[in-house]
Amino acid sequence: MKCYKAKWILTSVGEVLRDMAIVVDEGKIIDIIPNSEVNFEEKFVKDLGNSVITPGFIDLLTQFQYTDILETKPYDLKAKLKKVFKICSLKYNFAGVSRNNYSRKWAEILCNYFTLDRNQKIESFKHGVTESIKAGTTCIAQVSKEYKYFEIINKLPIKNYLFFEVFADTKDHSKKAFKVLRAKIEDFIWHKGENTHIGVMLNSISGVHKKLWELFSKYCRKHNMLMMTRFAESKDEMEWLEHGFSDIDLLHKFMGLRKITPYEKDLTPVQYLENLKVLTKKVLVANANYADLDNLSATGVKFIYQPTYSEEICNKKLDFKTVLEKFGTNFGLSTQSFSPERNFSLLKLAAELNKDNILSTEELIKYLTIYPAHILRLENTIGSIEKGKDADFNVFRLMDGEDYNDILKQTVPYAVYSRGKKLVKDGDVRFSL
């Protein structure tokens, strides 16, 4: 049993606590008491002084396999030749298309990624996870179509959701993809640890055939499983919906997919998926940069706000105030970025979005903690500092004269805990992947 005394505790429920302590036993918070009432043996008490305790942060969409793709280079002749071939294919398929084009940007990302070998991909993923934890993230929603990451994710010292990404270009391929992924999911469910949860990521409206939408929508409803998708994030996708073709077709060709056509043209993104009975409260949609937000929010879907990714890749991002107005508490944040200078800090991202002080500090922290916990349906174990919940929390040290509002000036916490186990202290990582 251990006790952690702090000047401030942002619980993400109720009021901000002052001069209180959390009592942790076997990975759970078993009590919250005034500092003055702490009477444990000294060796079991950690006096954090002028500090702030927050719940651990939750990143709603990560793709950490891409972390090092711009720094890591193919190292053998075979890999180098593969990259040359991919670059030639990219230039051939996208001849005359601006490098600022959404589909071309994704083709370049995939070109860099697929020329790495297995070990390089895994090290890239581990690097992203490590940096994220150092920044105070104790729960991630990782997206990948590659099954090899399951074993690593399943052993992570933090909570995680693994959303398996799937594409399909024809009805027959949809049936095959569904059978394969369904079998994998059912196998992984038997072998997953208590920190791991499984979901399905249907790539996008333009990357998934109508049949696969129908199959997985029905499957996820039947098995009470979360489903995620990228949604109306680019002009390319909107043109595809309107005309039945766009530069998205070039991306699909580069990926080895056949041409995918809408089941019906001139539908809005919301209409397209509502007609397939996809949009429910158990669906997470990312970006929606070109969507009708009123109609989208009315469906009850949960929203993933990726401002950095949207600006970098989609050439447009939604305004933070607009997202607040349209989705209320039904959204959380993602730090996803493909920049070499990317920052993994959800706190830094939130502070930048809230530079006009639209939200109070304690309310802003909820968008990193309890609100995304509800979205992932993990609110019974994480997302707030409460008795009975897992001891997933961050510690931020303050300077003299500062109060809890000053954590917004910081990027990373002093210490990070998951189930009461210290994972990071003053930048020093205390876990291995």
Look-up of token digits 């499983």: 225
Domain boundaries, the chain: 2-58+384-429, 128-366
Outline where 223-317 has alpha helix (H).
235-243, 248-255, 269-274, 293-298, 307-309
Enumerate helices (H) and strands (E) in the chain, giving the number of each: 15, 17
Q: What mean pLDDT do residues 276-285 have? A: 96
pLDDT at 42: 86
pLDDT at 206: 97
pLDDT at 255 over 80: yes
pLDDT at 85: 87
pLDDT at 8: 98
Same fold, 2-58+384-429 and 128-366: no
State the Cα angle at 340 between 334 and 344, rounded to 5°: 30
pLDDT at 371 over 90: yes
Q: What count of other Cβ atoms lies within 10 Å of the Cβ of residue 203?
A: 17
pLDDT at 236 over 80: yes
pLDDT at 72: 83
Alpha carbon 360 to its chain's center: 23
Task: Report the CATH fold assignment for 128-366.
Answer: TIM Barrel (3.20.20)
Q: What mean pLDDT do residues 349-356 have? A: 98
More confident residue, 78 or 342: 342
Average pLDDT, the chain: 96
pLDDT at 356: 96
DSSP state of 221: H
Give Cα separations from 353 to 64, 168, 331, 416 (angstroms).
23, 36, 14, 23
Q: What percent of the chain has pLDDT over 70?
A: 100
pLDDT at 82: 79
Outline where 10-163 has alpha helix (H).
77-93, 102-114, 118-134, 149-153
pLDDT at 340: 86
pLDDT at 76 over 90: no
pLDDT at 77 over 80: no
Q: What mean pLDDT do residues 130-147 have? A: 97
Q: Calculate the dihedral angle through the C-alpha atoms of 123, 58, 323, 227, rounding to the nearest 10 degrees.
A: 80
pLDDT at 83: 81
pLDDT at 368 over 80: yes
268 band by pLDDT with thresholds 50, 70 and 90: very high
Q: With CA atoms as reference, report the closest residue to 213 among 269, 160, 161.
A: 269
pLDDT at 425 over 80: yes
Q: What mean pLDDT do residues 84-101 have? A: 92
Please return the burial class of 10, using the count of CB atoms within 10 Å of its CB with bins 0-12, 13-18 and 19+: buried
Q: With CA atoms as reference, report the closest residue to 395 among 159, 144, 116, 47.
A: 47
In whole angstroms, give the CA distance from residue 103 to residue 113.
Answer: 15
pLDDT at 86: 85
pLDDT at 78: 73
In whole angstroms, give the CA distance from residue 189 to residue 345.
Answer: 30
pLDDT digits (tens, 9 = 90+) for 154-193: 999 999 999 999 999 999 999 999 999 999 999 999 999 9
Q: What percent of the chain has pLDDT over 90?
A: 92
pTM of the prediction? 0.97
In whole angstroms, give the CA distance from residue 401 to residue 181.
Answer: 55
Q: What count of other Cβ atoms lies within 10 Å of the Cβ of residue 270?
A: 24
State the Cα angle at 120 between 119 and 126, rounded to 5°: 90
Phi, psi of 323 (to 5 degrees): -60, -45
Domain spanning 2-58+384-429: which superfamily? Urease, subunit C, domain 1 (2.30.40.10)
pLDDT at 73 over 90: no
